[in-house]
Amino acid sequence: KTTLINTITTLEQPTAGEVLVFDKSVKLDPMFTKKKIGVVHQEVINTGFFTVDEILNFQSGYYGIKHNKERINYLLEKLSLTSHRDKKIKQLSGGMKRRLMIAKALVHSPKLLLLDEPTAGVDVELRELLWKFVLELKAQGVSILLTTHYLEEAEKLCDRLSIINKGNLVYTGEPRDVIEKYSTKKINLKTSSGQSHSFVASAARSIQDILKEHNISFSDVVDIQIEEGRLEEAFTKMVNL
């Protein structure tokens, strides 16, 4: 994971193969890559003597953007940082610093955003805010490479998923494919007599087939719920094969 991020960001050179960012070689045209990407590292920034507003203006300057007030205001509002813009970094909480790191990575409107475990150690409220913002960026056409240990996060946000186990890439594809292959879908129902039942669902058996097998009349069913398989279950089964 670390090697991949460092290679994309041109901090390391690949020992074999080639890395392309929007069809351009990272090695042959590193400046193109740097202009197109934004990076949120796992480590929290600690430039304590500057304010939030100063940090974002400095970052804009690194990309040759002189007048970026509109973009900065947009990011501050989206990440609930507007009321903190004049605070120095050392006055911010860990969660606020994490938000600032994301704003800093997006200040030049990159086409590719690298998020290295952005919600590690943050509270539930901030996690939900970041999830919502990531989905908005995705809808705007920003490509996002997200690394995470939270499988719920990967399941909710990702169109494509790669699983690394002990340094080896063991799966790449759509989350739903690995969920269907390695997890269990359940049918939970309750009958008019008050009894609850739970059955394993499969493509080969319809609900009517399951009810018939267990001598349950469909007319006696008062509630039925489908419990979809989860990525966490699929991941656990896959890495323990």
User: Which among 78, 77, 96 has a CA at the least distance from the CA of 88?
Assistant: 96
Encode burial over 191-230: b for 16+ CB neighbours within 10 A, e otherwise: beeeeeeebebeeeeeeeebbeeeebeeeeeeeeeeeebb
pLDDT over 90 (residue 207): no
Report CA dihedral (151, 152, 157, 160) to the nearest 10 degrees. Answer: 40
pLDDT over 90 (residue 108): yes
**9 contacts: CB under 8 Å, gap ≥ 6:** 33, 34, 37, 39, 114
pLDDT over 90 (residue 14): no
116-141 per-position pLDDT tens digit: 998 888 888 889 999 999 999 999 99
Residue-level pLDDT at 204: 57
Long-range Cβ pairs for the range 159-166 (8 Å, 24+): 161/231, 163/235, 163/238, 163/239, 164/1, 165/238, 165/239
User: Which among 182, 184, 185, 177 has a CA at the least distance from the CA of 160?
Assistant: 177
Is pTM beyond 0.85? Reply is no
Q: How confident is the model at residue 221 (pLDDT cuts 50, 70, 90)?
A: confident
- Partner residues linked to 198 by β-bridges: 188
Identity of residue 49: F
Higher pLDDT, 26 or 210: 26
Q: How confident is the model at residue 144 (pLDDT cuts 50, 70, 90)?
A: very high
Residue-level pLDDT at 240: 80
Is 183 in contact with 154 (CB distance < 8 Å)?
A: no
**192 contacts: CB under 8 Å, gap ≥ 6:** 220, 221, 222
Q: How confident is the model at residue 203 (pLDDT cuts 50, 70, 90)?
A: low
Q: How many Å apart are CA 9 and CA 204, to the nearest integer?
A: 47
Q: Which two tokens stand for residue 66?
A: 């002189």
pLDDT over 60 (residue 104): yes
Q: Mean pLDDT score of the chain, rounded to an integer? A: 89
User: Which domains are assigned to the chain?
Assistant: 2-172 (3.40.50.300), 179-239 (no CATH)
60-75 per-position pLDDT tens digit: 999 999 999 999 999 9
Question: In residues, how long is the chain?
Answer: 241
147-175 per-position pLDDT tens digit: 998 999 999 999 999 988 888 888 899 99
Residue-level pLDDT at 1: 82
Higher pLDDT, 143 or 218: 143
